Amino acid sequence: MDMNYKIIDLFAGIGGFHQAFENLGSKVVFASEWDSHARKTYETNFSKTSPELFESGNFAGDITQVIPQQIPDFDVLTGGFPCQPFSNAGKRAGFEDTRGTLFFNIAEILKEKQPKAFFIENVRGLLSHDGGKTFETIQNTVKELGYSFHYKVVKASDFNVPQHRPRLFMVGFRSDIDDADFTFPEAVPLTLTIEKVLKGKVTTPAGLEKKVGFTLRVGGRNSGVHDRRNWDCYLVDGVERSITLEEAKTLQGFPTTYEFPVSKTQAFKQLGNSVAVPAIQATANQILQVLNKN
């Protein structure tokens, strides 16, 4: 099946979306990420497989400085956008009400470029943020721009990644695309347990066996197993230890060849901010199958 579609990667981080779509045979033709450390990691890894992305000047920094008309044509918009509060000043709860937020930049690009589909993600708390008004505004905005809207809270552990990481996935298709067949992917059995990643029996301080690890986060590293903020310390064969960078990489589904040309602190922060590649890839596959049928 032909999966050679053109993708843009907004709020790109270290390229979890890029990795997922590339694994399926698609090409990222434009990316945007403002953080200098994340940019360095992104370019180090993807300049090998997508050199033209960097040579063409299509690896942008600040999304608010991007002129939508200057983005090359593409099929699918992707991105894990930061959730900012929307003003309730507007009455329409649509496109105009997103001004001043980073979601507005996504909406503007959809409006201008009219791609076939979008796939964006956020924390599951977005559903209830500001009494549900933020989510309602997002939904109304994409519908106003002529797109359908599907959403689901998806756990990384449902796609053979041994960390919970529940995230809100939002997918939409342009009105001329028949998306009646679109469904979020079914969960697969967890064969890669936290014990396999850490190479030993993993238990809680209470002595219960652990199959799924903690959700990788940005803060609270090296907190210890008894700290409620802990996410990187485990009891392995009865001995407390922190996960290594290689193990953290596996917990996000990045390939073993993925490199971090930054400090260990930065690398852990970048992984904590990233998406779990296998969960993204499974959903991306469903999106591309719909596009193939059309």
Q: Where are the domains of the chain?
A: 6-186+272-293, 194-262
pLDDT reported for residue 89: 47
Q: Hey, is 72 helix, strand or coil?
A: coil
> Residue 83 catalytic?
yes
The rounded distance, in Å, linking the Cα atoms of 273 and 96 is 29
| Domain covering 6-186+272-293: architecture | 3-Layer(aba) Sandwich (3.40)
Can you give the pTM of this predicted structure?
0.94
The rounded distance, in Å, linking the Cα atoms of 61 and 111 is 21
Q: Which of 28, 83, 168, 277 is catalytic?
A: 83
Cα distances (angstroms) measured from residue 108 to each of 2, 49, 141, 142, 181: 29, 29, 10, 10, 27
Which of the residue ranges 16-20, 228-232, 280-284 would you say has the lowest mean pLDDT? 228-232
pLDDT over 90 at 96, yes or no: no
pLDDT reported for residue 84: 67
User: Which residue(s) pair with 158 in the sheet?
Assistant: none
